[in-house]
Amino acid sequence: MSNLIEVATYTAGTQEYADQVLDQIDPSNTIQYRFYRQDCILNKKEQILLKDLTFVQQQVEKQRKVNSRQKRVE
């Protein structure tokens, strides 16, 4: 499938933790890009981590975002 689409994950979790989980759910390495807490931006006013997606603005209409916290998906 990875020859048809690009698969990326973005988590506010630490890289050490996320890699352990992702290695278990993706043993065939379908996920091409992994983004972690260090890739997030801290919103100091609200004290929350924001996932900066500005670098993946290509074909935004074809992107699908899945998040465990719906209010964080924009």
pLDDT at position 73, please? 45
0.75 surpassed by pTM: no
Q: 52: helix, coil or strand?
A: coil
In this prediction, residue 46 carries a pLDDT of 86
Domain ranges of the chain: 8-60
SS3 59: coil
Mean pLDDT, each 10-residue run in order, the chain (74 residues):
74 92 93 90 88 70 66 49
Report the pLDDT value the prediction gives residue 49, as an integer from 0 to 100: 86
Exposed / middle / buried, residue 20 (Cβ in 10 Å: 0-12, 13-18, 19+): exposed
